């Protein structure tokens, strides 16, 4: 070989037949050395193609295992995106041998990155532990992850604190020190939907070009999984308004199955089995709904109700006691809605159907019951009546409905109790368990035929009022309440409270 005119310089009585030379390159592309491997005469020569094929097959096998695992996770936990994200993050860490991993999703509407699932650097039974915490958000204009989300380009940072783009907020929040970063966009249909960030290479001073290449291949499959998960959430939101369950479930199931169809040649037998299970589910839900919807006699009786004149003045007071008027509670709520929002704010028939079905879905528990719901709704009514002009029409409607529904289907147990005893609701909702269930029940009742009191709103108004209801119900979680109250008190005492600021509202 003309590239070795004087041999290798290492011959010692035996001739070297074949040489394999490998460059040693840093994460930023600097060549720092050469590794030379030799074989003597009489031995089979090195074959780069065999080496590359073996390496590629090993990586592909590992990737196929990951895809099967992710697909299984989807079928086992169709409603829980957290399990999917954990699988993605665990595999990504192992792929590039990173100490920590973070996955941020992109909120294009608010131009923010957000995450509520964090790698805490601990292991259980050989697997990393990810902790579900209060969601953190930061501007897409900040940090390494922000730049990757904006540009869609891979960033390999050997020294994080020496890079001016590095956002130290996450380190301050988690108490962790970042040394080096490999950050990759997750792109779906030409748009960045997430950012995976590998932190601190374990074996080596920084992430390599090989890590980058492997990570790029992996990001394609992340995009597919996240696209399906986000589609599930999006279609669920559409279901809130349109109630087209059959179409939506078809879309979700087919998109989830696409993972198998594309990568494992899955057969249609599984699809038919899932469709059969779906039919069983729909029949079960139909039977349950029969027992949780008010009768015609109940809502028709409410339509003809008139509040006694003697109560019209008393009901305006904060200290009004609804206790003695149990048979009037639904009528009292109709009166409060009309006084606060106007008699034409809702179709009366739909409002009466909605109220009586909400009543039917409160359980007979000592505290979080129908009486408590009407009491809280009355308190909100008094607040609204004493603060005319402070709340928008949508806020008035949303807050009154949220109060009436804020403890729907409460079982009388705390969130910590449900989580401790592995209740199915705790598996469905890892944070604010009962509060998320209350909101879900509210939306379920709105979806019932003749119950959607917001059907006359535009699409954007409908989304806004649902978000008002969701935030109000979630805020009743005591784990969030005390922190929110402290923050509100501080703003009020310092005079910084500004109700023109949407976050303060």
Q: What's the mean pLDDT in 5-26?
A: 71
* Residues 427, 80 contacting (CB under 8 angstroms): yes
pLDDT confidence bin for 219, thresholds 50/70/90: confident
Fold of 296-474: Catalytic domain of cyclic nucleotide phosphodiesterase 4b2b (1.10.1300)
Evaluate if residue 504 carries a pLDDT over 50: yes
Q: Is the pTM of this model over 0.85?
A: no
Find the range with the poorest average confidence among 270-279, 280-289, 323-332.
270-279
Domain 61-265 in this protein, CATH class? alpha beta
Binding-site annotation: residue ranges? 372, 406-407
Give CA–CA dist 296/356, Å, rounded: 10
Evaluate if residue 436 carries a pLDDT over 80: yes
Write the CB contacts of 303 (distance below 8 Å, at least 6 apart in sequence): 348, 349, 352
pLDDT at 48: 62
118-170 pLDDT per residue, tens: 777 777 777 777 777 777 888 898 889 899 999 999 999 999 888 888 877 76
pLDDT at 429: 81
Please tell me if the domain spanning 61-265 has the same topology as the one spanning 296-474.
Answer: no
Evaluate if residue 402 carries a pLDDT over 90: yes
Evaluate if residue 351 carries a pLDDT over 90: yes
Q: Could you state, in order of their start, the residue ranges of all structural domains in the chain?
A: 1-46, 61-265, 296-474
pLDDT at 46: 67
Write the CB contacts of 9 (distance below 8 Å, at least 6 apart in sequence): none
pLDDT confidence bin for 279, thresholds 50/70/90: low
SS3 for 42-102, per residue? CCCCCCHHHHHHHHHHHHHHHHHHHHHHHHHHHHHCCCCHHHHHHHHHHHHHHHHCEEEEE
The residue that leads in pLDDT, 55 or 115, is: 115
Which residue of the set 87, 368, 410, 437 is catalytic? 368
pLDDT at 142: 84
* Residues 431-434: contacts with CB under 8 Å, at least 24 apart: 431/116, 431/132, 431/134, 432/474, 432/477, 432/479, 432/480, 434/407, 434/410, 434/477
Evaluate if residue 291 carries a pLDDT over 80: no
What mean pLDDT is reported for the chain? 79
Q: What's the mean pLDDT in 299-314?
A: 91
Q: How much of the chain, in percent, has pLDDT values that exceed 90?
A: 35
Asked about 368 being catalytic, the answer comes back as: yes
The residue that leads in pLDDT, 420 or 27, is: 420
Q: What's the mean pLDDT in 315-340?
A: 94
Evaluate if residue 289 carries a pLDDT over 70: no
Give CA–CA dist 229/208, Å, rounded: 31
pLDDT at 364: 92
pLDDT at 355: 97
Binding-site annotation: residue ranges for Zn(2+)? 372, 406-407
Q: What's the mean pLDDT in 53-80?
A: 53
The residue that leads in pLDDT, 346 or 503, is: 346
């Amino acid at each position: 070989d003309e590239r070795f005119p004087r041999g290798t310089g290492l011959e010692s009585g035996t001739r070297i037949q074949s040489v394999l030379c490998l460059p040693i390159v840093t994460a930023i592309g600097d060549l720092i050395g050469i590794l030379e491997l030799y074989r003597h005469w009489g031995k089979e020569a090195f074959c780069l193609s065999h080496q590359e094929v073996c390496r590629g097959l090993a990586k592909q096998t590992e990737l196929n295992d990951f895809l099967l695992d992710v697909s299984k996770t989807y079928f086992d936990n169709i409603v829980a995106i957290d399990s999917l994200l954990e699988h993605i993050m665990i595999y990504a860490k192992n792929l590039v041998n990173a100490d920590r991993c973070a996955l941020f999703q992109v909120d294009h509407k608010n131009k923010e990155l957000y995450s509520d699932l964090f790698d805490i650097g601990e292991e259980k039974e050989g697997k990393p532990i990810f902790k579900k915490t209060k969601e953190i958000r930061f501007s897409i204009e900040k940090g390494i992850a922000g730049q990757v989300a904006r540009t869609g380009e891979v960033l390999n940072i050997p020294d994080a604190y020496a890079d001016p783009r590095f956002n130290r907020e996450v380190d301050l929040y988690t108490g962790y020190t970042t040394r080096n970063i490999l950050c990759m966009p997750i792109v779906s249909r030409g748009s960045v939907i997430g950012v995976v960030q590998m932190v601190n290479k374990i074996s080596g001073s920084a992430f390599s070009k090989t890590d980058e290449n492997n990570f790029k291949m992996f990001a394609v499959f992340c995009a597919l999984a996240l696209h399906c998960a986000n589609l599930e959430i999006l279609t669920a939101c559409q279901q809130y308004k349109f109630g087209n369950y059959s179409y939506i479930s078809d879309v979700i199931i087919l998109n989830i199955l696409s993972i198998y169809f594309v990568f494992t040649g899955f057969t249609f037998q599984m699809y038919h089995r899932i469709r059969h299970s779906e039919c069983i589910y729909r029949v079960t839900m139909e039977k349950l709904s029969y027992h949780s919807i008010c009768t015609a006699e109940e809502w028709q009786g409410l339509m003809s109700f008139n509040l006694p004149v003697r109560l019209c003045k008393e009901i305006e007071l904060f200290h009004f006691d609804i206790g003695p008027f149990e048979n009037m509670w639904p009528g009292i709520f109709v009166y409060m809605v009309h006084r606060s929002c106007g008699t034409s704010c809702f179709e009366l028939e739909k409002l009466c159907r909605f109220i009586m079905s909400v009543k039917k879905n409160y359980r007979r528990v000592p505290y979080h019951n129908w009486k408590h719901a009407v009491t809280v709704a009355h308190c909100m009514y008094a607040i609204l009546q004493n603060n005319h002009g402070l709340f928008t029409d949508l806020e008035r409607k949303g807050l009154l409905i949220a109060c009436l529904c804020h403890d729907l289907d409460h079982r009388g147990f705390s969130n910590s109790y449900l989580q401790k005893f592995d209740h199915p609701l705790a598996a469905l909702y890892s944070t604010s368990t009962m509060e998320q269930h209350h909101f879900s029940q509210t939306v379920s009742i709105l979806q019932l035929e003749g119950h959607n009191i917001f059907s006359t709103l535009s699409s954007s108004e409908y989304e806004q009022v649902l978000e008002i209801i969701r935030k109000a119900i979630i805020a009743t979680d005591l784990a969030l309440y005390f922190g929110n109250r402290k923050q509100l008190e501080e703003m009020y005492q310092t005079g910084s409270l500004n109700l023109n600021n949407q976050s303060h509202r």
